[in-house]
Amino acid sequence: MGKKNKDEGPNANNVVNKDIMQRLNFMYQASVYLSGVLPIPPAPAPQKRQKRTRKMTVHDLSKSYVNSMKVVANKTMVKMHVPSLDPAVKRTLCNGCNIVLVPGSTASVRVKSSRHHGHIMVYRCGSCDSTRRIPAPPTLAEGDSAPSTSTHPDEAPPPVDEPYKPYKHKPRPRPRPRQPPLFARDAGHVVLRGNDKLPDRDPDLGDGIYIT
Amino acid sequence: MLLLDNAAKESRLKKERDAKKAKLRAAKEHKKLGVLGRRQDTARGMGLWGFDESQAQFALFLPLHHLWLGYMSELLHLPQPGGAPRALSGAAIHPKLLKADFHGSIISVHQTKNTAILGISGIVIHETEATFKVVTKENRLKVLPKQNSIFTFAVPVQSILPATHDTDSPLPLPSPEANEELKTVLDGPHALLQLHGNQFCFRAADRAGRKFKAKESIEL
Residue B66: its pLDDT value, please? 87
B220 lies in some domain: no
pTM: 0.73
SS (H, E, C) A4-54: CCCCCCCCHHHCCCHHHHHHHHHHHHHHHHHHHHCCCCCCCCCCCCCCCCC
Q: Which of A30, A84, A20, A74 lies closest to B95, judged by CA?
A: A20
Q: d(Cα A35, Cα A57) in Å, to the nearest integer?
A: 10
Chain B CB contacts of A25 under 8 Å are: 71, 171
B3 lies in some domain: no
pLDDT, tens digit (0-9, with 9 covering 90-100), for B165-209:
665 666 666 655 554 556 777 777 788 888 888 888 888 888 887
Q: B78 pLDDT exceeds 50?
A: yes
Domain of B39 in residue numbering reads as 9-45
B219 lies in some domain: no
Q: d(Cα A110, Cα A123) in Å, to the nearest integer?
A: 7
Nearest-by-Cβ selection for A52 from B46, B170, B173 = B46
How many other C-beta atoms can be found within 10 angstroms of the C-beta atom of residue B173? 15
- B33 and B58 share one domain: no
B22 lies in some domain: yes
Residue A2: its pLDDT value, please? 38
State whether residue A25 sits within 8 Å of chain B by CB.
yes
- B71 and B24 share one domain: no
Q: Please, are residues A179 and A139 in contact by the beta-carbon 8 Å criterion?
A: yes
- B110 and B59 share one domain: yes
Q: A154 pLDDT exceeds 80?
A: no
CB contact under 8 A, B101 and A193: no
Q: A55 pLDDT exceeds 70?
A: yes
State whether residue B200 sits within 8 Å of chain A by CB.
no
pLDDT, tens digit (0-9, with 9 covering 90-100), for A117-147:
888 999 998 888 889 898 887 777 655 555 4
Q: Which of B186, B181, B188, B160 lies closest to B76, judged by CA?
A: B160
Q: Please, are residues A127 and A40 in contact by the beta-carbon 8 Å criterion?
A: yes
Residue A74: its pLDDT value, please? 82
What is the total count of domains within chain B? 2
pLDDT, tens digit (0-9, with 9 covering 90-100), for B91-128:
788 888 888 899 999 999 999 998 999 999 999 998 98
- Supply the ipTM of this predicted assembly: 0.74
Instruction: Give the mean pLDDT of A98-115.
Output: 88
pLDDT, tens digit (0-9, with 9 covering 90-100), for B131-173:
999 999 999 999 999 988 999 998 888 777 766 666 566 666 6
Give the pLDDT band (50/70/90) at residue A208.
very low
Residue A153: its pLDDT value, please? 47
- B20 and B39 share one domain: yes
**More confident call, B219 vs B203:** B203
CB contact under 8 A, B38 and A128: yes
CATH (domain of B202): 2.30.30.210
